[in-house]
């Protein structure tokens, strides 16, 4: 069971906007807990402008909590988060929203707003209290819908969409928000395989124009395909942080998830292969796969 997507590559030529990375988000000595239980302990991270950073880790390790702390939805019990050198506790929610767009795991609406209305809400941080959407706002919203190939949903009530369609609408809203940093909590969850790949392609395209991405995922392949850097979290602590090629490997994935997998480079791309014990092929086919695995494994 191997998966790979060779059409795009994070190692392709980067724009000048991404060549000079600058400190953008700093997490310093952050700890957080719920009702006496420590969820994150002494987290220290620096995210550079223009990076694509993937957070990997098992359920309950603290990825979503860390994301909410970074965007100011939660306050740590200890430590600080800085956005372009400014402590976020001193920034208004509108100031943060102009710089960071957030895509949550789950978004619900009780009102039957159209998809266009949902996407236009991304423009609110740029408006005064009494506002009307301009023609430019409408054009930005339509462009965001087009990027994700969901223009056909523009007039559909948001409440009638499937879970995957809702997720795409919220991602379009984040793009329309105009912030140069997108923080996404498992953005591919609920998306079919084709839409997962289209989303990853848009992440690559936007990063080439200077966007910064922090995204959590349970798919190591997504990190290998598009991310510059992976941060692995387990038990509320950072256990590995570095270039994807260096740390997204069989040993570290076993440490994270307690499952044995093979990480291999095949035809210029990466794939993560499930244990052979899970393979339904015949013994003869397994022997042939062993030969292929040996010849394809990175030196």
Give the tokens for residue 41: 């302990």
What's the angle, vertex CA 48, arms to CA 43 and CA 54, rounded to 5? Answer: 65
pTM of the entire predicted model: 0.82
Give the tokens for residue 38: 């420590």
For 267: left if phi > 0, alpha if psi spans -120 to 50, otherwise beta; the answer is left
For 273: left if phi > 0, alpha if psi spans -120 to 50, otherwise beta; the answer is beta
- Residue in this structure with the two tokens 């995204």, named with its chain if needed: 215
pLDDT at 15: 42
Residue 197 CB: number of other CB atoms within 10 A?
17
**Dihedral pair phi/psi, residue 160, rounded to 5°:** -100, 0
* Whether residue 251 has pLDDT greater than 90: yes
pLDDT at 129: 77
**Helix (H, G, I), strand (E, B), or coil: what is residue 10?**
coil
What are the pLDDT digits (tens) for 262-298?
888 777 777 887 766 566 666 665 555 555 444 444 4
What is the rounded CA–CA span in Å between residue 162 and residue 125? Answer: 27
What is the rounded CA–CA span in Å between residue 165 and residue 195? Answer: 9
What are the pLDDT digits (tens) for 81-97?
999 999 999 999 999 99
Q: Identify the CA nearest to 190 among candidates 103, 119, 264.
A: 103
Q: Identify the CA nearest to 15 among candidates 146, 155, 207.
A: 207
| Full set of structural domains in the chain with CATH | 16-258 (3.40.50.300)
What is the rounded CA–CA span in Å between residue 25 and residue 206? Answer: 18
Cα dihedral sign for 104, 207, 201, 251? negative
Give the tokens for residue 271: 């794939």
Of the listed ranges 129-133, 217-221, 258-262, the least confidently predicted one is: 129-133
CB-facing half-sphere around the CA of 227: CA atoms within 13 A: 28
Mean pLDDT in the chain?
85
Cα dihedral sign for 159, 162, 167, 171? negative
* Whether residue 219 has pLDDT greater than 60: yes
């Amino acid at each position: 069971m191997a998966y790979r997507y060779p059409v795009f590559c994070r190692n392709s030529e980067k724009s000048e906007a991404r060549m000079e990375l600058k400190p953008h988000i700093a997490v310093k000595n952050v700890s957080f807990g719920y009702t006496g239980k420590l969820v994150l302990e002494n987290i220290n991270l620096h995210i550079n402008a223009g990076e694509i950073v993937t957070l990997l880790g098992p359920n309950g390790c603290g990825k979503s909590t860390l994301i909410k702390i970074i965007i100011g939805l939660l306050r740590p019990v200890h430590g600080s988060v800085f956005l372009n050198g400014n402590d976020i506790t001193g920034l208004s929610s509108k100031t943060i929203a102009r710089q960071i767009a957030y895509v949550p795991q789950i978004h619900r609406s009780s009102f039957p707003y159209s998809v266009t209305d949902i996407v236009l809400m991304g423009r609110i941080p740029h408006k005064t209290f009494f506002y009307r959407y301009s023609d430019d706002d409408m054009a930005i919203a339509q462009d965001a819908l087009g990027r994700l190939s969901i223009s056909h949903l523009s007039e559909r009530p948001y409440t009638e969409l499937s879970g995957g369609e809702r997720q795409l609408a919220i991602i379009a809203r984040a793009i329309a928000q105009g912030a140069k940093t997108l923080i996404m909590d498992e953005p591919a969850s609920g998306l079919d395989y084709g839409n997962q790949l289209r989303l990853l392609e848009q992440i690559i395209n936007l990063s080439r124009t200077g966007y910064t991405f922090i995204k959590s995922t349970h798919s190591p392949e997504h990190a290998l395909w598009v991310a510059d850097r992976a941060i692995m979290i387990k038990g509320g602590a950072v256990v590995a942080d570095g270039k994807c090629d260096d740390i997204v490997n069989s040993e570290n994935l076993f440490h994270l998830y307690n499952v044995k997998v093979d990480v291999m480079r095949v035809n210029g791309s990466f794939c993560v292969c499930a244990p052979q014990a899970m393979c339904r092929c015949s013994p003869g086919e397994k022997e042939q796969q062993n030969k292929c695995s040996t010849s394809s494994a990175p030196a």
